[in-house]
Structure 1
């Protein structure tokens, strides 16, 4: 029994007229996300980053050489507002991890690229990050990981459609 079971038992007792079965699942997902985020933030902090800055650097890195995207292309994958994206880019540019330059295909816009320092940093961070992620899910067997991944894929797809 975990603390979510205690909460749902209290609700079942106090409001037996309600179907509180989704409460346990959603409560656990929220708590799992909280714990995972906290553990991942610890890794990012060791490198002077946070989740937001990691996400921008990782998005540029996984785009492949020349590790350059427009802010609009990054917005499409990071799900933040344009103001938030501008702030993230500003901070990373001040830190020397990204650079901005005019978009040769659209002189009104600009592109964001990893600097050599940014590329070296994200390569280092992503190695530690993936090791940390493996540690965080190690309590589940390979089969359990695959099953959970498939269930969450189905759930997320329904929420995003």
Structure 2
């Protein structure tokens, strides 16, 4: 049974048990959740190929996209990745142990530090980025250009509504 058919079956059970409830919204949300789960599995698998957890890869990508000299404060990193500073500290500890980042004094704030991407991590990130984008391209290959544009429009509408 295909994934989409499994969801239809589940919704059919609700229709049998509670025909008085419109499960249309449940159907869409369930499908969105399953898409996220399937994407997460693929992203996790690719990160594992590089010997990092996906959340650690997010830190490396955030530092790389910050541009030279590939440095950000821990609080800016946490903010950009939508995580707490405590969560960020744990990620940074693991990455520092592997030699992917280093903590350096912030020249503009004697009390602060900056997180800097190492040369090894920059090379790793550049290589991984190409595979990451290819992985994403493959995941969306079933959609036409017009489908992607429409999906982007619809998802942006949902994001703006839910984030308000």
1:145 aligns with 2:145: no
Aligned residue-pair number: 161
Distance in 1 separating the partners of 2:85 and 2:76: 11
TM-score (norm 2): 0.95
1:34 aligns with 2:14: no
Aligned to 1:133: 136
Aligned to 2:28: 25
Spell out the pairing of 1:3-18 with structure 2 (5 A cutoff): 3-18=6-21
Shift of residue 9 of structure 1?
A: 1.4
Distance in 1 separating the partners of 2:142 and 2:129: 21
Tell me which of the two structures has the higher relative contact order, counting C-alpha pairs closer than 8 angstroms and 6 or more residues apart. 1
Distance in 2 separating the partners of 1:39 and 1:96: 25
1:88 aligns with 2:86: no
Give 5+ residue unaligned stretches, structure 2. Answer: none
Distance in 2 separating the partners of 1:144 and 1:21: 21
1:123-144, Cα deviation, whole Å (9 max, x unpaired): 0111101001101110111110
Match of 1:46 among 44, 49, 64: 49
SS of alignment partner, residue 2 of structure 1: helix
Distance in 2 separating the partners of 1:70 and 1:19: 48
Distance in 2 separating the partners of 1:20 and 1:106: 55
92-101 or 15-24, which moves further after superposition?
15-24
TM-score (norm 1): 0.96
Aligned to 1:56: 59
Q: Which runs of 4+ in 1 moved over 3 A?
A: none
Q: CA RMSD in A?
A: 1.0
Aligned to 2:112: 109
Distance in 1 separating the partners of 2:33 and 2:83: 20
